[in-house]
Structure 1
Amino acid sequence: MNNYKIVFFDIDGTLVNEDKQIPEDTIQAIAELKANGIEPVIATGRAPYFFEPIAKLLHIESFVSLNGAYVVYRGEPLFQRTLPPQSLRKLVELAGSHQHPLVFQGHERYYANTDTHPFIVESIDSLKVEHPGFDPEFWSKAPVYQAFLHSEEQDESLYEGQFDDLRLIRWHPKAMDVTIRGGSKAVGIEAMLERLGISLAEAVAFGDGLNDKEMLQEVGLGIAMGNSHPDLLPYANYVTASVDEGGIRQGLRYAGLIS
């Protein structure tokens, strides 16, 4: 029998498919996992207000959100890491000079500094969540855990080498996550496991995207979805089926956590 005690799940492309639906088979597999005494935890680039319905449907109470910057275990915040105000100021000025809109994410709400820009509309619509509010000064008034920089791939070079403490990861043709350099889902996972007295070797993680590399690499068993970004696969111990082909059930069976 294995000694895994906890399982971390990415959301987009892992728990939910392209239509942002959770396959019925995945719902059942996670219910079995819980019945077997293993805790499921969400580990996502999304902010908490982007996945509340998913967590409720799956009866998951704990999460590593905003790419590791805001971590909550059963309602109790365990770990918080915000973007430095001086770097945000520089980002606002640089993005403004290139007319690239920004979205700032707090842990309760999020705001854009441009009203209804097509890049924001297109990328946010792909998540099937409510659009951000409009508050260009939100970044200077409240903690910001992550930002979206809305630009196309050919413009990434405008930002390369400009920030010592920020990291940009593309998640949509028109959008990148702006996170703290050295931050990742793995950092948030480590903070949670330390509090719970569980080792990384006793954890399993499922993911499909570039922001899942560190997480899959660090845990005892890293599982990549069959629909994963090709660059993620070298970081996984096992590649399961895709999200719509029973990938979660297959991976949990492989880990010996459900029958």
Structure 2
Amino acid sequence: MGTYKVLFLDIDGTILQADHTIEESTRDAVNQVMNKGLEVFLATGRPLHEVYPIAKSLHINSFIGYNGALALYQNKEVVNETIPIDIIQSYLKIAKEHGHEMVLYTSNKNTFTSINSPVVKQFIDYFDLQENELFSDAVIHDILGITVMNVSETDAQLYETNDIYLSQVNVEGLHHSYDVIRNTVNKGRAVKAVLDLLNIDSKETIAFGDGMNDKEMLQVTGASFAMGNAHKDLFQYAKNTTTSVNNSGVYNGLKSLNLI
């Protein structure tokens, strides 16, 4: 066993169950590794203003949000990469032409192409999003992340370029939703920026994830775990597999490293 210094945890499907609760074993595991001196980061596609209640309940103060576009180490900004305006304008056009909906995240708001659409309402309800409003050009310079909704697998390709791919949201009932992931801005890149800042070797890191937006993070960390409930294509990128989110996946993974 190596010496581990940092733990990166995805949220939905990794520590947060479908019923929006966190298993007691997960809380226990996080607490135990923190007591051993590890820095714990939440690493999520969610906007950070929507994860603070979860973080507070776990006493976590470091974050990677918006799939890597914003990273904070104990409230100190490490990464801040907004999405170029030309990409946003192109996406708004595609969405309008094809009947898709979008949520465009700023540092403090979730802005939607429509608030009343059933798919948008379902998305807001599932993730219990609070700071919601209609998108306007006033925030176009401030967009850190995008999720497109009501999109078929075929239509997802409309948004993809050499530098951008779409990652299916790994949640039952929301498979028509996709996160926009940039090759140069993702959880893996943010992890590297954090490690550079803290002067920590990748061998000294652990990560857990379940979605394709975790792919890069699992590739760049030392002890990487795909959850038992992970997207079928994710397992090839992780060095280890653990049990599912509702069967002590994080606890069992950390136990296998003799950390608990």
TM-score by length of 1: 0.93
Alignment partner, residue 201 of structure 2: 199
Equivalent residue number for residue 21 of structure 1: 21
Q: Tell me, yes or no, if the aligned pair for 1:111 and 1:138 is still in contact at 8 Å.
A: no
User: Which secondary structure state, in structure 1, belongs to the residue aligned with residue 16 of structure 2?
Assistant: coil
* Contact 2:159 2:165 survives alignment (8 Å): no
Which SS does the other structure have where 1:159 is aligned? helix
Q: Is the 8 A contact 1:186 1:215 kept in 2?
A: yes
Q: Which residue of 2 aligns with 1:159?
A: 158
Q: 1:74 to 1:157 in 2, by over 3 A?
A: closer
Quick check: 1:176 aligned with 2:194? no
Aligned counterpart, 1:237? 239
Query: What's the counterpart of residue 217 of structure 2?
Result: 215
- 2:89 is aligned to 89
Is contact 1:10–1:207 with CA below 8 Å preserved after alignment?
yes
Shift of 1:80: 0.9
* Runs of 4 or more consecutive aligned structure 1 residues displaced over 6 Å after TM superposition: none
Give the corresponding residue for 1:49.
49
Q: Is the counterpart of residue 145 in structure 1 residue 144 in structure 2? A: yes
> Structure 1 residues 223 and 154 mapped into 2: Cα distance closer, same or farther (>3 Å)?
closer
Structure 1 stretch displaced more, 120-129 or 32-41: 120-129
**Distance (whole Å) between structure 2 residues aligned to residue 164 and residue 136 of structure 1:** 27
Deviation at 1:167, TM superposition (A): 2.7
- TM-score normalised by length of structure 2: 0.92
Question: Sequence identity, in percent?
Answer: 32
Rounded to whole Å, the distance in 1 between the matches of 2:82 and 2:162 is 15
The 1-side partners of 2:218 and 2:162 are apart by: 25
1:126 is paired with a residue of what secondary structure? Answer: helix
Answer with 205-214 or 90-99: which moved more: 90-99
Unmatched runs of 5 consecutive residues or more in structure 1: none
Residues 16 and 22 of structure 2 are in contact (CA less than 8 Å); yes or no, is this contact kept in structure 1?
yes
Could you give the per-residue CA deviations for residues 108-151 of structure 1, whole angstroms, max 9, x where no partner exists?
Answer: 212112231111111222222226211332443x3111112122
Match of 1:121 in 2: 121
Alpha-carbon distance in 1 for matches of 2:222, 2:57: 27
Q: CA RMSD in A?
A: 1.7
CA contact (8 A) 1:69 1:188 kept: yes
Of 59-68 and 230-239, more deviation after overlay is shown by 230-239
Please give the secondary structure, in 2, of the residue aligned with 1:243: coil
Distance 1:110 1:69 in 2: 15
Deviates more, 1:148-157 or 1:41-50: 148-157
Matched to 2:107, the amino acid is H
Separation in structure 2 between the aligned mates of residue 80 and residue 180 of structure 1, nearest angstrom: 13
The number of residues matched between the two structures is 256
In the TM superposition, residue 5 of structure 1 has moved relative to its aligned partner by 0.8
* Contact 1:204-1:221 within 8 A present in 2 as well: yes
State how far apart, in whole Å, the 2-side matches of 1:58 and 1:109 are: 23
Aligned mates of 1:88, 1:252 — CA distance in 2: 40
Equivalent residue number for residue 252 of structure 2: 250
- Is the 2:49–2:108 contact (alpha carbons within 8 Å) kept by the matching residues of 1? yes
